[in-house]
Amino acid sequence: MRVLILGGDGYLGWPTAMSFSKKGHEICVIDNYLRRNICRDLDVEPLYPVPNLLSRVRTWKEFSGKDIQVRIGDCCDYEFLRRIFSEFQPEAVIHYAEQPSAPYSMLNYDAARMTLSNNLVSTLNVIWAVKDSAPDCHIIKLGTMGEYGTPNIDIEEGWLEIEHKGRKDRFLFPRQASSLYHTTKIQDTDLLWFYVRTWGLRVTDLMQGPVYGLSTDEIELSEELSTFFNYDELFGTVINRFIVQAVAGYPLTVYGKGGQTRGYINIVDTIACVELSMLNPASSGELRIFNQITETFSVNELAEKVAAIGTERGHDVQIKSVENPRVELEEHYYNPTYSGLKDLGLTPHYLTDDVLNGMFERVEKHAKNIHKHKIFRGIKW
């Protein structure tokens, strides 16, 4: 298939590009280095340097013999994006091209404005580029489980059947975001649903939980093929952060009571879920929603898991409860459904001791690069 990956330089975008290329798909990636630039400007660069896209593509060609096309540019520039759709004629577009951090979206006004404009305009541009230049293209959009919030009822897979005053209908599951970033993801879903109804687009919206992991089969080929690994409060996901904190002798920062429960997924399974969605596309006029997680944990459970493995590996690991900088429930009900992707064939990789040991080993290799001042910034909302 011809696959266009937006945000192809990112933590998820680059491993996805390599995996799909290895399997014979024709890949074109787009990126404007937004995340790199933000990390540089805020002094929260990743654990180890990551070569730019053109360099990684050359390395990939050396190892695989396969080409990946690269276009450097902004998906918020409609003419740039429409031209690529027109020339490449993708059969599927993977939309990762959004500012991905909830804490960053709450940092200040400029960060909020940029998050809002970047995320919504990029999604709008994808929709219009498909309509104008590749109407049969399947849009696969990375959403977030954070759209749902933490309701006191079971979270269904995107949709909810409602009976009211003797009548029934089917609606998008109620959303209640906990940050501006998550709010833009809700608005993405609303945009997609409107244009699916209006123009008959084919869309899969993947409600993904926090991702962990540093490695895929393709990354293991060379350090030069690595993806980003942030460990800071802005761009690092909680499991990745905790492992770096353990290696650095920095207390694991549990916010408040630590009962916040979410669904998590290994980076390997993220790629598998996107591929399954691509190979089993939504129908014309369908907004298909999958909850893209494989298991749930509280923050306390994650801290205990990381502390146990870290201690076994000789690190002095402490767990420290800190005042919660976020407006969120610290103890709550959380029971999401996540069967759709398993029904398509997903075989989950769970957060085992072996997985954690592998992550520790890779972080320990780069321990000299850890800068403790990057870990906790105290962003409050």
Rounded to 5 degrees, φ, ψ at 314 are 95, 10
Query: Which strand ranges, in their side-by-side order, compose the sheet holding 211-212?
Result: 211-212, 261-266, 295-298
The CA distances from residue 228 to 90, 262, 273, 289, 372, in Å, are 26, 22, 20, 27, 18
Identify residue 46 by its one-letter amino acid code: P
**Using DSSP, how many helices (H) and how many strands (E) does the chain show?**
12, 14
- The CA-CA-CA angle for residues 24, 28, 30, to 5°, reads 150
CB contact set of 110 (below 8 Å; sequence gap of 6+): none
Instruction: Given the residues 115, 144, 189, 227, select the one marked as catalytic.
Output: 144
Instruction: Given the residues 148, 185, 253, 374, select the one marked as catalytic.
Output: 185
Contact 265, 209 (CB under 8 A): yes
Segments of 213-326 assigned E as strands: 252-255, 261-266, 286-292, 295-298, 319-322
The CA distances from residue 367 to 214, 303, 306, 364, in Å, are 14, 19, 16, 5
| Active site annotation includes 305 | no
Instruction: Given the residues 96, 148, 181, 338, select the one marked as catalytic.
Output: 181
What is the C-alpha to C-alpha distance for residues 98 and 120, in angstroms, rounded to an integer? 9
| Active site annotation includes 365 | no
| Active site annotation includes 141 | no
Identify residue 375 by its one-letter amino acid code: I
Which residues form the catalytic set?
Answer: 144, 181, 185
